[in-house]
Structure 1
């Protein structure tokens, strides 16, 4: 009887809890964009939003960086390392500026759909930088190429094709617009949708560049929390003067206790705090492949929350394009996983059993990139 109870507890700990945690992390990341969109409609500018959220994130990650790496032997923190971290901050700031402006002109559902372009764009850029080898006759390389083309096609469908209305917020009078005056349905135009989608696509291309540079930098200085802290701090140092140039009116920087303050606090605490911790825990317990497989779930979460809280309408083009992007996402991921399995098998076959542990714990670039959020 005890063994049966212990088996159920082990199953809950190994399967159910990681599943719930991963879904909760996706909900947390999507809800950041929902709160941001609601705050934008209430008058919050992304020029104000970004410095505040970066400052909160830096304050949160500073103690984590200290306690997690205080006993870890690290290379010297040189000017070169500092400049690399600052470069990540600049690229991250520009990338998130594109992302937030894109959400402002469109909606969180489009952002979640576009986020699944990240593995495809990372793969394409890795080829250009000769970090990825393409073997045309290899099934894994063919899968990655086809998946990249399918993802790009899906993105074009989402941006350029609207289609008939599937779900209207008018059918949910008691649930929609829980944020007062936060409806975005009437303010969206096809031109804004296309511009917003283009900015989101550009943001995810920049995110792919950020992923590649981060993967190179963390090899030289293996301290993720320190990297994240300096990334947030350098992004704050860049976003603050840019924000004052974009919003010189000091009254715009004064926050009252409303949805604007809530969006900033939520992004700084839940987005980079709670969501990041859940993702990191899921990576440790179940591995990067398991966590990456939940990425397209954010599209459905964003669509549901957008209709309920923002009064967004859902069109056929967004659904079809999201499905196509998700298919391309899984195709790229399958090709990369198959390639890494074959490579690891060939590498480990030639090693002795005493050194076989060195074959474990490798996180491929594309799988790692699939877990990085734009927001």
Structure 2
């Protein structure tokens, strides 16, 4: 009995914790590897995005067929297919914004900006009337305050590098990268809201994942052919760019999706969301060790501020959903790494 209880404890508590920590390391590791690859050679963001979509699709395809055997799939309407296709366009744009933003910014800045997703999702959900705001409740005050604090933290990280002789330091590349990365996660948030709408009409996640993967691959291939007409840009060599492509395709396009779905079903969305700020710490350490980045006060301060705002939104939403009047709203606390890194939709 003791051995069985220990195994159940490991499966229930230890494995989900280790899995989510591993996910955060894989995501930041991919961003760090991509940043290192851009420093050693030219990477066409459109071609790179296509290859990541392609590898992710090939890795996911067997899983979809396996799951399909266990589920009876009703026919999908053409209107739903069109909506999923438009969603894939948004996700492709977010992917491109993310890679270009990494070229101008850093993995640390990307990790900081990723914590804006709950705030953006809350704002969009309110705009589309999927969330209600009642300042008489402490949950609304927590979400609104957390959103404002998150945006303030993002501005600090973008605009303030740290104290210098001239009182403060300003980096144009950091601003450009920050705007692009913030745009990436705004699109991610928009996709979560759109995803909630689609799932209300067609709640078969297997089919939605398949259509999303196929349409995303089509969009990435078409955009790559238009934006990268030089055939040399499509050639892969045995170098760090190829290693980065394989790594991102396997982890972001496949492995993190599977791990997050499993953890989500075992522990719930709040548990998955609470690990997100860990990426800031991992990114800072990896940036200093592998990229030679200097530890900037602005990044640390902005990361701390945005983490406080992040947990404010998460706490408010969690309390709201666990209350007696809880109702189904936009999946604000869903893990979104799979979307933001070019993989697939997580339900």
Normalised TM-score (structure 1): 0.84
Aligned twin of 1:61: 60
349, 361, 365: which is aligned to 2:331? 365
Aligned twin of 2:128: 129
Contact 2:84 2:208 in 1 (8 A): yes
Contact 1:211 1:369 in 2 (8 A): no
Aligned twin of 1:293: 274
Distance 1:80 1:29 in 2: 33
Deviation of residue 227 (structure 1)?
2.2
- Aligned-partner SS, 2:319: helix
Aligned twin of 2:303: 322
- Aligned-partner SS, 2:332: helix
Distance 1:197 1:339 in 2: 31
Aligned twin of 1:17: 15
Matched pairs, number: 335
Deviation of residue 152 (structure 1)?
0.3
Distance 1:158 1:209 in 2: 23
Q: 1:256-295 CA deviation, whole Å, 9 max, x = no partner?
A: 1111111111111111211111111111211111111101
> Is 1:267 equivalent to 2:266 in the alignment?
no
Deviation of residue 373 (structure 1)?
4.8
Q: 1:206-239 CA deviation, whole Å, 9 max, x = no partner?
A: 1111111111112322232432332232222222
288, 310, 326: which is aligned to 2:291? 310
> Is 1:230 equivalent to 2:196 in the alignment?
no
Unaligned runs of 5+ in 1: 166-188, 348-358
Unaligned runs of 5+ in 2: 165-169, 342-347
Residue pairs, 1:236-247, within 5 angstroms: 236-247=217-228
Residue pairs, 1:116-195, within 5 angstroms: 116-164=115-163, 190-195=171-176
Distance 1:372 1:164 in 2: 36
> Is 1:282 equivalent to 2:263 in the alignment?
yes
Distance 2:291 2:17 in 1: 27
Contact 1:116 1:329 in 2 (8 A): yes
Distance 2:213 2:88 in 1: 7
Contact 1:95 1:207 in 2 (8 A): yes
Bigger CA radius of gyration: 1
- Aligned-partner SS, 2:340: coil
326, 340, 343: which is aligned to 1:374? 340
Q: 1:69-119 CA deviation, whole Å, 9 max, x = no partner?
A: 334233312221211111111111111111111111111110011000000
- More displaced stretch, 319-328 vs 56-65: 56-65
Aligned twin of 2:2: 4
Aligned twin of 2:167: none
Normalised TM-score (structure 2): 0.91
Deviation of residue 371 (structure 1)?
5.9
Deviation of residue 164 (structure 1)?
4.3
Aligned pair in 2 of structure 1 residues 327, 152: CA closer, same or farther (>3 Å)?
same
Distance 2:284 2:138 in 1: 34
Cα RMSD between the aligned structures?
1.9
